Copies of this chain bind each other. A is one copy, B any other.
Amino acid sequence: MRLSQAYQPTLKEVPAEAQIASHRLMLRAGLIRQTSAGIYAWLPAGLRVLRNIAQIVREEQNAIGAEEILMPTLQSAELWKRSGRYDAYGPEMLRIQDRHKRELLYGPTNEEMVTDIFGTTVKSYRELPKMLYHIQWKFRDEIRPRFGVMRGREFYMKDAYSFDASYEDAEKSYYRMMLSYLRIFRRLGVQAVPMAADTGPIGGNLSHEFLVLAPTGESGVFYNNDWDSIDWNSLPLDPKKDEDLDKLKDLVANSYAATDEKHDEASWAKLPDEKRREGRGIEVGHIFYFGTKYTESMGVEVSGADGAAFHPHMGSYGIGVSRLVGAIIEASHDDAGIIWPEEVAPYKVALLNLRPGDEVCDQLCEEFYALKPDAILYDDRSERAGVKFNDADLMGHPWQAIIGPRGAKTRTIELKNRASGERLELTFDDAIAKLGLK
């Protein structure tokens, strides 16, 4: 994309309502605009990030055999009356009447709907286990929406649901999903640690929340630093193998991690000093096993091997996709702006032409840009070099490729790594090889 033509309205002044870094940076870098309290429009660069995150989630969910569907945003109140949650949910649920005075609601989550769909389509134990997920806009009418997309009212969420024949099978689905989550967060470039959690209004008795470590996090966290070093994506754990899921279960049980609410001083004291890490975290995911709570209350059964009908065991598994955009920035920024992890960034490279109008400079920039226009944000504006450097740092693309009139004569490019600040003077060919643009 050419920045001169791109719709990316950066802001010079920090808006007063933005109290935290991610909110300020998302507004300054032109990623979002608020349209109502806690409701945002995503501008092109923000949408690219949102979609990159959703795509990573999708790939990793598909990799464990979960299947993607798409449920609507509006649900019938009837469904929630069947489970008993309609009255229990409280004022965060946005309740709606249609023209025929039928009660609808804007889905805050989908346990009821997916249970109903499952019940009308799956008839036999032979079709289990089944995992369905969708990535859809949800609404929770927060009394005081704040912190930008971190605590918005209309938000984008991936929610998955598992159906199993027994507790033992459901536990496997639970840890299969946990492995998928650990791989997702690692690919997103953040460090997320699962911590035992209360189950709240979803119900059930097995639950973990995933916290991204960030100095501005809302919760205090205490954890064994083993969590820091595990590369989940190269660890040879096969989600299809029961013994590998058992290994993960043991690992989780034996590596301490807790939010301040659940922190247990006695267990903590047993950990050697050099293993203890304290910090702060932002919740970005939450997984639950809740047994037959919904299949029983909603009367959903399948037939078993012996011909007798039974209520499948369920779990639900959420990732806050729009919230993650904010959380990643909280975990990865500096005074100059955002530092995007590679797989999430709107563009991999910001190409800075330091002298638009200079023929040699323009030519080399065009040659570079033509390599992969969709991965490069080409700053071809007639602005001073200082403005371009500042905007590139603010927007936070992983690499800056800087081409000035002097370097252009010898086909030399300066590469700057946004995260490390490292600078390299390279020939054109070496630079594009380094960036994988060839």
Report A's interface with B, CB cutoff 8 A: 5-7, 9, 30, 33, 35-37, 39-44, 47, 50, 65, 67-76, 79, 91-92, 94, 96, 98-99, 102, 104, 106, 113, 116-117, 120-122, 130, 132, 137, 139, 141, 143, 153-154
Contact = CB atoms under 8 A, between A and B. Distances in A.
Contact of A113 (B37, B41, B102, B106): B41
Per DSSP, are chain A's interface residues mostly helix, strand or loop, or mixed? mixed
8 contacts: A35-B116, A35-B117, A41-B69, A41-B113, A41-B117, A42-B69, A50-B70, A99-B141
Contacts of A121: 7, 9, 30, 33, 43
A5 B153 CA distance: 36
A59 to B, nearest CB: 11
A143 B67 CA distance: 34
A38 B139 CA distance: 20
Interface centre among A33, A92, A154 (most CB of B within 10 A): A33
Nearest to A156: B70
A163 to B, nearest CB: 10
Contact of A72 (B91, B99, B102, B154): B154
B36 A76 contact: yes
Given A74-B36, A76-B35, A141-B98, A69 B104 contact: no
A345 B91 CA distance: 42
Nearest to A126: B4
A55 to B, nearest CB: 11
A67 B35 contact: no
A383 B153 CA distance: 48
Nearest to A130: B7
Top-6 shortest CB links A-B = A9-B121, A42-B70, A36-B76, A41-B71, A91-B99, A7-B67
B69 A120 contact: no
A40 B98 CA distance: 16
